[in-house]
Amino acid sequence: MRSIQIRSGSSLKLMRFSALGLLLAVSSVTSVWAKDELPVENAVLTHAPQVPPPISRDHPAKVIVNVDTIELVGQLSDGVDYVFWTFNGAVPGTMIRVREGDLIEFHLNNHPDSKMPHNIDLHAVTGPGGGATSSFTAPGHTTQFSFTALNPGLFVYHCATAPVGMHIANGMYGLILVEPKEGLPKVDREFYIMQSEFYTKGDFGEGGLRPFDMAEAISENPDYVVFNGSTNSLLGKNAIHAKTGETVRMYVGNGGPNLVSSFHVIGEIFDTVWVEGGTLANHNVQTTLVPAGGAAIVEFKVEVPGDLHLVDHSIFRAFNKGALGTLTVSGDEDLMVYSGQQSDGIYLPEGGATQSVNGGVPEPAAPVAKNKEEKMLFGQRIYERNCMACHQENGKGLPGAFPPLAGSDYLLSDPKHAIDVLLDGLSGEITVNGVGYNGVMPAVSLDDQSVANVLTFVLNTWNNNGGEITPEEVAEHRAAK
């Protein structure tokens, strides 16, 4: 029924037709297309972090978009499953790319196995509900409506079926890019990144199938804040890649449902930000706000190799709730742009020469533990101050970034080796419980007492199988250097 609106002989059609004609007269000197004559094409839809190819047309088309709503169990984090409600089987939904002035024929197909009705509100639509009222679709049904992409920009789409918050919280959002008629500047790499939160019964990392928690959602207190639907989407083997000298463009969306993102790439400056996904270009930006239900386009040239970390700079979300990703840049060093560490010396405020040191600078002597119980207590304090930020309170580390100390076969097979890890730091590829890590653990500046205490704490916590490290052993290792 809704597909006919455009072709029927009503005055509505005439008005819309002349509006389009006007648009085309301005935009294209070569030809004016009547709606029925528009060339027809199927949209290329991509799963994040992939982006559909740039549009090379210089004229409008009728673009057919087919989206299935599918409810499925997926991985939110290691060992943590969730029932996601999705557009095209993934969170975020597939990315759509059209051209300003295109006529989009939108088909929403609700899978027969769905338990819920769904619809879609595209922020690129000019019309009631952004399409929501025309796309309400019961399980096993398919609906269709059309719209003309009048405004260029990067837009969020989402389900708007009641309870709206719950449909969004369960994963129903994605991005649609409406390229301006003149196209976008060419870049070397494009990525699709969408932040969102998840509210589960249980805490961050609690395993098994975790149901949605409405009370947490209402109080805007998520357990997870993630990019592309899972804590692992952009880490480890899922990291995204670029080469030095290349220009990278990220289409960044925020599905919310509640939080505003302070999107930042550690070690980069955005050369250009298309503010809020619109036509205003800002330059030389460190962190850009991406509102819930909004977007931004960020562009930057990568000059030096290394891992750049994508974060929500509301920083506990990055290191404790999952809003972390990696862009790995390969290529040649440019030591003028970035030198790496050039020296590490002792700073003596009272004067005196600066000397180089190997390893760390001991902190003031810690109190001597009288027994194992005290060792555990002192060790825990040291852990909280020196280790927890990376290896986490629960000792499980962070997927793709920091290995676990809880149940680590690497640690437990040779606990004394851990003394060297703390004294010297550790870098290069290692395998912990079958998973590869390739990070940098800095040497810690702790005295023998403290190293012994923290390792004893680690060995006797999180069901690790016990053992004790003595300050004498630490001293021996230190002397052997």
Residues 415-474 that bind ligand HEC (CB under 6 A): 418, 421-422, 426-428, 430, 432, 437-442, 444, 454, 458
Given a contact cutoff of 8 angstroms between Cβ atoms, the answer to whether 420 and 477 are in contact is yes
CA distance 70 to 140: 11
Interface residue with Cu ion among 98, 172, 178, 234 (CB under 5 A) is 172
Buried b (16+ CB within 10 A) or exposed e, 246-265: bbbbbbbbbbbbbbbbbbbb
User: Among residues 67 and 444, whose Cβ is nearest to ligand HEC?
Assistant: 444
Q: Please choose which of Cu ion, ligand HEC, none residue 250 contacts, taking the beta carbon within 5 to 8 angstroms, the exact cut-off set by kind.
A: none
Give the N- to C-terminal CA distance of the chain in Å, as an integer. 80
Looking at the Cβ atoms of 151 and 470, the one nearer to ligand HEC is 470
- Helix pair 372-386, 448-459: axis angle to 10 deg: 100
Tell me the two tokens of residue 88: 């095209």
Q: Are β-strands 294-301 and 247-256 bridged in parallel, bridged antiparallel, or unpaired? A: antiparallel
Q: Considering only residues 405, 423, 452, 469, which one is a binding residue for ligand HEC as defined by CB under 6 A? A: 405
Judged by CB under 5 A, does residue 210 bind Cu ion?
no
To ligand HEC, the closest distance from the beta carbon of 335 in angstroms equals 24
- Asked if 4 and 16 touch (Cβ cutoff 8 Å), the reply is no
Nearer to Cu ion, 71 or 448 (CB): 71
CB 401, min distance to ligand HEC, A: 7
Of positions 69, 109, 161, 386, contacts ligand HEC by CB under 6 A: 386
Q: How many other C-beta atoms can be found within 10 angstroms of the C-beta atom of residue 9?
A: 7
Q: Does 161 bind Cu ion (CB under 5 A)?
A: yes
Residue 418 touches which of Cu ion, ligand HEC, none (CB < 5 to 8 A by kind)?
A: ligand HEC
Q: Choose the one of Cu ion, ligand HEC, none that binds residue 210, judging by a C-beta under 5 to 8 angstroms depending on kind.
A: none
Cβ pair 223, 321 in contact under 8 A: yes
Say whether residue 167 binds Cu ion (CB under 5 A). yes
Which of Cu ion, ligand HEC, none sits in contact with 169, Cβ below 5 to 8 A by type?
A: none
State the nearest-atom distance from the C-beta of 319 to ligand HEC, in Å.
10
User: Count of CB atoms within 10 A of residue 220's CB?
Assistant: 13
Asked if 406 touches ligand HEC (CB under 6 A), the answer is no
What is the C-alpha separation between 16 and 147, in angstroms, rounded? 10
Instruction: Please identify, using beta-carbon distances, which residue of 156 and 458 lies nearer to ligand HEC.
Output: 458
Residue 86 CA to residue 81 CA, distance in Å, equals 15
Question: According to the binding rule CB under 6 A, does residue 205 interact with ligand HEC?
Answer: no
* Smallest distance from ligand HEC to CB 240, Å: 20
Contacts of 6 (CB under 8 A, 6+ apart): 13, 16, 35, 103, 146
Residue number of the CB closest to Cu ion reads: 159
> Of these partners, Cu ion, ligand HEC, none, which one is at the site of residue 442 (CB under 5 to 8 Å by kind)?
ligand HEC
Identify the three-state secondary structure at position 431.
strand
67 forms part of the interface with Cu ion (CB under 5 A): no
- What's the DSSP call for residue 162? S
Q: Which residue has the tokens 């085309």?
A: 24
Backbone angles phi, psi at 282, to 5 degrees: -105, 155
Q: Count residues near Cu ion (CB under 5 A).
A: 5
Identified binder of Cu ion from the candidate list 63, 80, 104, 159, rule CB under 5 A: 159
**Between 142 and 427, whose beta carbon lies closer to ligand HEC?**
427
Non-local CB neighbours of 15 within 8 Å, separated by 6+ positions: none
Q: Tell how far CA 449 is from the center of its chain.
A: 40
Strand 224-227 and strand 153-158: the pairing is unpaired
Which residues contribute to the site for Cu ion (CB under 5 A)? 118, 159, 161, 167, 172
State the residues that interact with ligand HEC by CB under 6 A: 386-387, 389-391, 402-405, 408, 410-411, 418, 421-422, 426-428, 430, 432, 437-442, 444, 454, 458
